[in-house]
């Protein structure tokens, strides 16, 4: 495990009107981590909200940029430079329409898959940071993407969203240990549907 502090940034748009949007899945994930461990209260830093704590015995900063999604790099870039962190110490959590709802993947580097927040961070810092991609599903037609992403999670979505956010928080110390595969496996294990009970075929004897 690295002695370098970790910075976990959740992406979203600030303001109550955006709070339940699918595009704010990154904010929701970081908020759940913040509530699940002993992190300091949020304070205004780096054009966003910053908190400091420990995950898996590693010093960890949580950051929610308040720059709006498309300018996320304007918040994360200065934070990374201030704390003198390498890109390997950055984890960005964001929604992903190209992943099925309730699915999650972690990858390092690569393209930004149309996510403007990731694009802004890449333009500011380069691509070689870790991304926790939270699947929100694709609406099926390109012209419906904007409304889907900037629409609220539905009641039906809550059935998988709440357990997924809880699993992300439970598994977060594995991110601090740079164990991305372990993190994904634990989230998958915690969110798998319960197996149906086998019918009792005995005749009572």
Report yes or no on 1 lying in a domain.
no
Radius of gyration of the chain (CA): 18
Please tell me the pTM assigned to this model: 0.93
pLDDT at residue 199, as a whole number: 65
Active site residue 23: yes
Report yes or no on 106 lying in a domain.
yes
Q: How deeply is 154 buried, as exposed, middle or buried, from its count of CB atoms within 10 A (0-12, 13-18, 19+)? A: exposed
pLDDT at residue 1, as a whole number: 57
Which one is catalytic: 23, 138, 146, 148?
A: 23
Helix (H, G, I), strand (E, B) or coil at 9: strand
Q: How far is CA 70 from the centre of its chain?
A: 16
- The 3-state DSSP composition of the chain as helix, strand, coil percent (nearest 5) reads 40, 20, 35
- CATH code of the domain containing 186: 3.40.50.1470
pLDDT at residue 203, as a whole number: 56
Report yes or no on 17 lying in a domain.
yes
pLDDT at residue 95, as a whole number: 96
Task: For the chain, 205 residues long, give each residue's pLDDT as a single digit of tens.
Answer: 568 999 999 999 999 999 999 999 999 999 999 999 999 999 999 999 999 999 999 999 999 999 999 999 999 999 999 999 999 999 999 999 999 999 999 999 988 877 899 999 999 999 999 999 999 999 999 899 999 999 999 999 999 999 999 999 999 999 999 999 999 999 999 998 777 766 665 555 4
Domain that holds residue 154: 6-191
pLDDT at residue 84, as a whole number: 97
pLDDT at residue 204, as a whole number: 52
Cα 72 from Cα 60, distance rounded (Å): 19
Compute the half-sphere exposure of residue 161: CA atoms within 13 Å on the CB side of its CA.
Answer: 21
Q: Domain tally for the chain?
A: 1
pLDDT at residue 201, as a whole number: 58
Report yes or no on 150 lying in a domain.
yes
Tokens 């012209």 sit on residue = 143
Report yes or no on 204 lying in a domain.
no
Report yes or no on 203 lying in a domain.
no
Report yes or no on 115 lying in a domain.
yes
Report yes or no on 197 lying in a domain.
no
């Amino acid at each position: 495990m690295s002695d370098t502090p970790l910075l976990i940034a959740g992406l979203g748009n600030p303001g109550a009107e955006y709070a339940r949007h699918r595009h704010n899945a990154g904010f929701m994930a970081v908020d759940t981590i913040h509530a699940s461990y002993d992190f300091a209260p949020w304070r205004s830093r780096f054009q966003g909200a910053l908190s400091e704590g420990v995950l898996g015995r590693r010093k960890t900063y949580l950051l929610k940029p308040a720059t709006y999604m498309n300018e996320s790099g304007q918040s994360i870039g200065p934070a990374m430079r201030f704390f003198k962190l390498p890109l390997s110490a950055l984890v960005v959590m964001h929604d992903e329409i190209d992943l099925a709802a309730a699915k999650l993947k972690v990858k390092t580097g690569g393209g930004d898959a149309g996510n403007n927040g990731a694009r802004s961070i890449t333009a500011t810092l380069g691509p070689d940071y870790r991304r926790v991609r939270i699947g929100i599903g694709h609406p099926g037609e390109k012209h419906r993407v904007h409304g889907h992403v900037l629409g609220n999670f539905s009641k039906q979505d809550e059935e998988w969203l709440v357990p997924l956010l809880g699993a992300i928080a439970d598994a977060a110390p594995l991110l601090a240990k740079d164990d991305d595969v372990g993190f994904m496996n634990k989230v998958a294990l915690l969110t798998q549907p319960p197996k149906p009970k086998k019918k009792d075929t005995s005749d009572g004897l």
